[in-house]
Amino acid sequence: MAPAQSTGTTRQMSMVQALNTGLRRSLESDPKVLIMGEDIGKLGGVFRVTDGLQKDFGEDRVVDTPLAESGIVGTAIGLALAGYRPVVEIQFDGFVFPAYDQIVTQLAKMHARSLGYVRLPIVIRIPFGGGIGAVEHHSESPEAYFAHTAGLRVVSCSNPVDAYWMIQQAIASDDPVIFLEPKRRYWTKAEVDTAATPGPLYDSRVVRSGDACTVVAYGPMVATCLEAAAAAAEEGRELEVIDLRSVSPLDFDTIEKSVERTGHLVVVHEAPSFLGIGAEVAATITERCFYHLQAPVLRVGGYHTPYPPSRVEEEYLPDLDRVLDAVDRSLAW
Amino acid sequence: MAVDSTDGTLFPPDSGAGPELIQLLTPEGERVEHPDYAVDLSDDEYLALYRDLVLVRRFDAEATALQRQGELGLWASLLGQEAAQIGSGRALRSNDYVFPTYREHGVAWCRGVDPLNLLGMFRGVNNGGWDPRENNFHLYTIVIGAQSLHGVGYAMGVQRDGTDTAVVTYFGDGASSQGDVNEAFTFAAVFNAPVVFFCQNNQWAISEPTERQMKVPLYRRAAGFGFPGVRVDGNDVLACLAVTRAALDRARRGEGPMLIEAFTYRMGAHTTSDDPTRYRLSAELEEWKLKDPIERLKAFLHKQGIGDPGFFADLEAESEELGKRVRNGVRTMPDPDPASMFANVYAEPHPLVERERAEFEAYHASFVDAGEDGH
Ligand SMILES: Cc1ncc(C[n+]2csc(CCOP(=O)(O)OP(=O)(O)O)c2C)c(N)n1
Ligand SMILES: [Mg+2]
């Protein structure tokens, strides 16, 4: 492996390293920050996101928990009530559900129920999405379940730079944040300038400008849409790609401004299209941009099926061709 | 040292060597008697158990190799746990019902599940892959502990039917922390369900040692729920057989659930994705090698003069044959038709699934058409 490139405050990092470095910063800057989860200590997490943190910050701050997700989130709530800022790791997307009750009935609502007296600064990190050839329950995209619950914020990083900043911003937030990490992009690398000034956590970002069609994605699908945009550019069509970054709150303004220019919108995510984030984007943008739209908002997503076995997951996951097919259909409407 | 909360005494690091450990065959291959549990096997029965152990280990090694060769996406090895699985698996009657985790390859073997069927999920061609009713062996369950409740519910069902079926639900030491498992204990106790909780305490839940999951020996937890718990030498196939038989008989007699903690060791990595050198010492492994489940039965057979050279030669050949069948079977295992992901989502027709399937097929057909036009 090539040594990490480093110039001044800029270093090349994989998304895993960026998250690890971001977590390290948060542990250093706030003694109330705790990390807890299964196998996050000596092992450093199954994806090594917490590698070395227990060694450097001790077992009291980087806590290997018993194997019980409801227990992890439930005790994180108690720790938060006692003044701590727990960062919880759920090992894989499919294993968050034993904690779903604590997240939805307790974590999401306690601030409101206490008339605002208590705050629950808890981050729940979840490696999510498919594309790594895993067995079942290791490839799911549960974001809509959480985004549908008031009281939870739901964000997803798509690249190492965002990963580095967003994890720190999520930890600094006084609200519970579901932090979705696109596991298939864990090993992509980028230059991360640790002295830069990050943008706001909940703003979307135009990651490629264009005028033919707006393409909205988040997490793992941003890279796919950028590939699609590069392919489209070769055919003389410039797609505007927006990385949502936050699913709740959802920054409609950035999408609206783009669609006012392009008149076309395609929303892409791995999660099933039916009642997914794309449906909400489509409905709201249709309301806001009705007279600018030259075609209905189209969605590219997973199907209304269980996540399929890995040998056929490429047929389930949106890819460059499916994104371009939707763009073509929109432009030809 | 931790305080044992059951009686306030000090609970030293749990080596499993206490008098509560039920053993009928020592690591050196000596038969020992136990006041409560006994087996009386014929020579052929001993040999049959030996054959099971050897073949299951061979199958497992083959699967690990196939994963290394890229033929499987993942494999969860049972290395070291053969006796716990064969002993308990051979205690079952055909009408009994099993709820496994993802590591119960030896139990599956005893139930008559085709080993190739077990590999489909790990290769990535299906998410389950067999009809559970065919061998009364439920699908593998990956979500830790979930199946323990299904086992109890199934037991509640057969209890109502008045049959003499008993149920075994398997889980690990790590799983014993899950809410589901503790709820399963509660339900089983209050409904007196004919279920046996068979926990393979292999000392590790991925990188976490048992001390991270419990402060009392695992088997003692049962007492708090109101049913008996025992600890058996999980590397002793005879003890596992005897204890599981007794627990199943007890359940059949209407005396309710029982917890069996099979004290064993995960000799391999958690799965092929895992790197145990990051969290455990090889000295531990060396210690457990001396307690190998197959070696001790082999030593016993030799001492007793059971099994002629022909038997062992045949077994070697059979083992080779199994290896070959598994290798060929996996390599020629077809990928599923992609459209099959739309099959069986619901038992009854569902318009959204039907529409998406039609769109999916039309989309893929468009590539075929385009390809033909383009050439
Ligand atoms: C609900 C849930 N959480 C986490 C996981 C990830 N995981 C898979 S196996 C495992 C450890 C299980 O340990 P144990 O119960 O002792 O069984 P063993 O693997 O040792 O047989 C974990 C944490 C999971 N499969 N399900
Ligand atoms: Mg274990």
Q: Does A96 touch chain B (CB under 8 A)?
A: no
DSSP A70-119: HHHHHHHHHHHHTT-EEEEE-SSGGGSGGGHHIIIIIITTHHHHTTT---
Write down the domain spans for chain B: 16-331, 340-374
Residues of chain A with pLDDT below 50 are 1-4
Q: Indicate yes or no: CB of A66 within 8 angstroms of CB of B213.
A: yes
Residue B129 has a pLDDT of 86
**DSSP 8-state class, residue A132:** S
- Is A205-331 CATH 3.40.50.920? yes
Measured in Å, how far apart are chain B's first and last C-alpha atoms?
76
Q: Does A133 touch chain B (CB under 8 A)?
A: yes
- Residue to mutate (ligand 1; options B200, B206, B208, B263; most atoms within 8 A of CB): B206
Instruction: For residue A168, give how far its alpha carbon lies from the nearest alpha carbon of chain B (Å).
Output: 27
Q: What is the pLDDT tens value at each position of chain B, 375 positions in all? A: 334 444 444 345 688 889 999 999 999 999 999 999 999 999 999 999 999 999 999 999 999 999 999 999 999 999 999 999 999 999 999 999 999 999 999 999 999 999 999 999 999 999 998 999 999 999 999 999 999 999 999 999 999 999 999 999 999 999 999 999 999 999 999 999 999 999 999 999 999 999 999 999 999 999 999 999 999 999 999 999 999 999 999 999 999 999 999 999 999 999 999 999 999 999 999 999 999 999 999 999 999 999 999 999 999 999 999 999 999 999 999 999 999 999 999 999 999 999 999 999 999 999 887 665 443
Q: What is the pLDDT of residues A5-27, one digit of tens each?
A: 566 899 999 999 999 999 999 99
Which chain A residues contact residue B338 at CB under 8 A?
308, 312, 315-316
Residue nearest atom 6 of ligand 1, based on CA coordinates: A91
Q: Is the peptide bond before A249 cis (omega within 30 degrees of 0)?
A: yes
Neighbouring residues of A175: CB distance < 8 A, sequence distance ≥ 6:
A111, A119, A120, A121, A151, A152, A153
Q: Indicate yes or no: CB of B363 within 8 angstroms of CB of A322.
A: yes
Residue B92: name the closest of B247, B201, B285, B218 by CA. B247
d(Cα B189, Cα A188) in Å, to the nearest integer? 51
ipTM score: 0.95
Task: Report residue A160 as tokens.
Answer: 């190492």
Task: Report residue A260 as tokens.
Answer: 């006012």
Q: Which of A43, A133, A312 sits opposite B278 (nearest CB)?
A: A43
Residue A2 has a pLDDT of 43
Q: Which of A138, A264, A269, A292 is catalytic?
A: A138
Of ligand 1's listed atoms, the one at least distance from the Cα of B205 is 13
Write down the domain spans for chain A: 13-193, 205-331
Q: What is the pLDDT of residues B88-106, one digit of tens each?
A: 999 999 999 999 999 999 9
Q: Does A137 touch chain B (CB under 8 A)?
A: yes
Can B270 be counted among the known catalytic residues?
yes
DSSP B218-264: GGGHHHHHTS-EEEEETT-HHHHHHHHHHHHHHHHTT---EEEEEE-
Q: Indicate yes or no: CB of A135 within 8 angstroms of CB of B74.
A: yes
Residue B181: name the closest of B253, B259, B107 by CA. B259
In a mutational test of the A interface, the residue from B72, B142, B201 whose CB has the highest number of chain A CBs within 10 Å is B142
Which chain A residues contact residue B352 at CB under 8 A?
274, 304
Q: Which of A43, A303, A306 sits opposite B356 (nearest CB)?
A: A303
Structurally, at CATH architecture level, domain A13-193 sits in: 3-Layer(aba) Sandwich (3.40)
Q: Does B207 touch chain A (CB under 8 A)?
A: yes
What lines the ligand 1 site, CB under 6 Å?
A 38, 67, 69, 91, 95, 98; B 103, 142-144, 172-175, 202, 204-206, 266, 270
Q: Indicate yes or no: CB of A274 within 8 angstroms of CB of B352.
A: yes
Q: Does B353 touch chain A (CB under 8 A)?
A: yes
Which chain A residues contact residue B274 at CB under 8 A?
46
The per-type count for chain A, helices as H runs and strands as E runs, is 12, 15
Residue A209 has a pLDDT of 98
d(Cα B233, Cα B239) in Å, to the nearest integer? 7
Residue A77: name the closest of A38, A32, A37, A108 by CA. A108
Can B357 be counted among the known catalytic residues?
no
Q: Token match 């409407």: residue?
A: A333
The mean pLDDT of chain A is 97
Residue B1 has a pLDDT of 34
**Percent of chain A clearing pLDDT 70 (strictly above):** 98
Q: Indicate yes or no: CB of B208 within 8 angstroms of CB of A98.
A: no
Query: How many A from CA of B345 to the centre of ligand 1?
Result: 26
Fold agreement (A13-193, A205-331): yes
Q: Which of B73, B175, B336 sits opposite A134 (nearest CB)?
A: B73
Residue B15 has a pLDDT of 85
Of ligand 1's listed atoms, the one at least distance from the Cα of B202 is 20
Q: Does A309 touch chain B (CB under 8 A)?
A: yes
Q: Which of B279, B302, B331, B364 is catalytic?
A: B279
Instruction: For residue B356, give how far its alpha carbon lies from the nearest alpha carbon of chain A (Å).
Output: 7
Q: Roughly what angle, to the nearest 10 degrees, separates helices B237-252 and B82-89?
A: 40
Instruction: For residue B42, give how far its alpha carbon lies from the nearest alpha carbon of chain A (Å).
Output: 42
Q: Does B346 touch chain A (CB under 8 A)?
A: no
Residue nearest atom 25 of ligand 1, based on CA coordinates: B143
Query: In this structure, are strands A85-89 and A239-243 parallel, antiparallel, or unpaired?
Result: unpaired
Residue A1 has a pLDDT of 38
Residue A38: name the closest of B205, B342, B365 by CA. B205
Task: Report residue A39 as tokens.
Answer: 């196998």
Q: Indicate yes or no: CB of A39 within 8 angstroms of CB of B208.
A: yes
In a mutational test of the A interface, the residue from B208, B278, B345, B361 whose CB has the highest number of chain A CBs within 10 Å is B208
CATH tag for B16-331 (out of 3.40.50.150, 3.40.50.300, 3.40.50.970, 3.30.70.330): 3.40.50.970
| A contact residues 219-278, partner B, Cβ 8 Å cutoff | 274
Of ligand 1's listed atoms, the one at least distance from the Cα of B173 is 16
Q: Does A308 touch chain B (CB under 8 A)?
A: yes
Which chain A residues contact residue B213 at CB under 8 A?
66-67
Residue B177 has a pLDDT of 98
Q: Does A71 touch chain B (CB under 8 A)?
A: yes
What is the SS3 assignment for B160?
helix
